[in-house]
Amino acid sequence: MARMATDTTSSIVPASDRAPSSWGMGDGQAIPWEYAPAPEARDIVTIQDRYGLFIGGRFVPAHGGGTFATVNPATEETMALVARGTPVDADKAVRAARRAQTRSWGTLPGKERAKYLFRIARILQERSREFAVLESMDSGKPIKESRDVDVPLAAAHFWYYAGWADKLDYAFPGRVARPLGVAAQIIPWNFPLLMLAWKIAPALAAGNTVVLKPASTTPLSALLFADVCQQADLPPGVVNIVTGPGETGMALVTHKGIDKVAFTGSTEIGKRIAKGVAGTDKALTLELGGKAANIVFDDAPLDQAVEGIVNGIYFNQGEVCCAGSRLLAQESIVEPLIDKLKDRLSTIRVGDPLDKNTDVGAINSKGQLDKITELVASGVAEGAELYQPACDLPDRGYFFRPTLFTNVAQSHRIAREEIFGPVLSVLTFRTPDEAVEKANNTVYGLSAGIWTDKGSRILEMVGRMKAGVVWANTFNRFDPTSPFGGYKESGFGREGGMHGLHAYVRLEDR
């Protein structure tokens, strides 16, 4: 039977203006202040009307002259027309990358490659506000996340791999590390600049050249990055950016001139890409979907856990492959935990991504919003109990309320499928064995979280989690030195750290 619960406290104060009970002000009292709008200025970034493909160090129109629009998901306005790259353009880009690999980049000493990477890192930092504003406008993510997470981490990846470029002999002692050649890199829309950095920085450090295809809903930060490559005087053809639809991505994957394919995105497309490289000697890394369990034991510090749960699932609107989308709460603490969570949800601010107070911005596209809406409806229809805090959504744009489901069964779609939205499904457990059983009961295996006071329990649980990354008493922490990747249908191969470098080299005996 479908059950729905909403905030029913009776009061003359509108629900969205009521103070959470944890503030100790008494039920129904009004929040004693308002957040003034704090919009970030847009004029720091110049958005062109049209963008070309970046091939061989120059911006060029697509073969046939086709374009597509990229839309600001918070306003539904077209931001720019972007070249619709075709397989012919993919071929040109691969040839440009091959020329650069054999004639300049692949023969450059590591310390010279490092100089370029350091320069790129520095320019990213210098232009960080420009990147943050553009990223938030094109993707819908809150400015405080693009400003404090995406852009600094992207720069950090270039700093980190710049440091390895002249030290490959130390990274792989006793072996000679050779570049693989030309890499095709296909990235998603949830962290457009950061995923670009995860892919391009290690590839270039190891002496490869790249052709990168951004997602069609978020091409602009990659095209601004092309401008950074020009500013850094990167030799032409080392980085090529081909915008366009999935079929152009597949033209890259199956191109004979490609030596390595790196993909981040949905498991469905990941499987197609694996088929596309099957039977060739191309190297392949796949970073795909997830359905992470965030496990809270009864000895966990609950207030800290609530912050971790909120960060785990509402960060970046939940459009995160490693999002903690399944909360596994020990039965004895589930009630106080849910009360605290509901309280905390009532303080989350949903709205304009460019407002510095915004916690949850716009969903990336209409298509993604429809997918989230459909899965949430399935949760209600299958009998889970839905809770959404009272909050006003902007009239235009693709917004979705932070959502919490209790009474979730493992068989429900909301417990099995990757929603990729701000939707948390709460399940319960009694014993550690049951927690392990439920956490691993998924086709995915990208990440997990454990909240407990006991170090011994953390170590025991970590060993039993079938997940590539396990966070303890925290969630969604990233660092360029730390490898990231999945088990099972979450893909294979690792990005970040020395593991990430390994994915772009061929090791030979001395």
Catalytic-role residue among 40, 135, 145, 287 = 287
Determine how β-strand 175-179 pairs with β-strand 505-509.
antiparallel
Residue ranges of E strands in 224-272: 239-241, 260-264
Binding site for ligand NDP (CB under 6 A): 186-190, 213, 215-216, 245-246, 249-250, 253, 264-266, 269, 272-273, 288-289, 321, 368, 371, 418, 420
Least distance between ligand NDP and beta carbon 436 (Å): 23
Closer to ligand NDP at the Cβ: 150 or 418? Answer: 418
Measured between alpha carbons, how far is residue 1 from residues 4, 54, 108, 180, 425 in Å?
10, 54, 66, 56, 17
Instruction: Find all residues with CB under 8 Å of 70, minimum gap 6, and list them.
Output: 78, 79, 80, 81, 82, 138, 216, 217, 218, 219, 220
Gap between the Cα atoms of 351 and 328, Å rounded: 29
Least distance between ligand NDP and beta carbon 9 (Å): 34
% helix, strand, coil for the chain, step of 5? 40, 20, 40
Catalytic-role residue among 135, 319, 321, 322 = 321
Burial of 27 (0-12, 13-18, 19+ CB in 10 A): exposed
- Taking residue 71's Cβ as centre, other Cβ atoms within 10 Å add up to 20
The reply to whether 434 belongs to the active site is no
Closer to ligand NDP at the Cβ: 473 or 482? Answer: 482
Least distance between ligand NDP and beta carbon 471 (Å): 17
Gap between the Cα atoms of 59 and 223, Å rounded: 9
Gap between the Cα atoms of 100 and 346, Å rounded: 54
Q: Is residue 208 within 8 Å of 185, Cβ to Cβ?
A: no
Least distance between ligand NDP and beta carbon 287 (Å): 6
Closer to ligand NDP at the Cβ: 151 or 372? Answer: 372
Closer to ligand NDP at the Cβ: 163 or 245? Answer: 245
Least distance between ligand NDP and beta carbon 184 (Å): 9
Of 40, 37, 134, the C-alpha closest to 354 is: 40
Closer to ligand NDP at the Cβ: 330 or 447? Answer: 447
In the bound state, the residue with its beta carbon closest to ligand NDP is 246
- Taking residue 16's Cβ as centre, other Cβ atoms within 10 Å add up to 12
Burial of 351 (0-12, 13-18, 19+ CB in 10 A): buried
Instruction: Find all residues with CB under 8 Å of 368, minimum gap 6, and list them.
Output: 319, 398, 420, 421
Closer to ligand NDP at the Cβ: 269 or 436? Answer: 269
Q: Is residue 85 within 8 Å of 76, Cβ to Cβ?
A: no
Closer to ligand NDP at the Cβ: 40 or 287? Answer: 287
The reply to whether 287 belongs to the active site is yes
Least distance between ligand NDP and beta carbon 269 (Å): 4
Gap between the Cα atoms of 78 and 68, Å rounded: 10
Tokens of 459: 């170590």
For 265, what's the count of Cα atoms within 13 Å in the CB-facing half-sphere?
A: 23
Closer to ligand NDP at the Cβ: 119 or 157? Answer: 157
Least distance between ligand NDP and beta carbon 281 (Å): 20
Tokens of 401: 């309320």
Q: Is residue 202 within 8 Å of 501, Cβ to Cβ?
A: yes
Q: Which residues are catalytic?
A: 287, 321
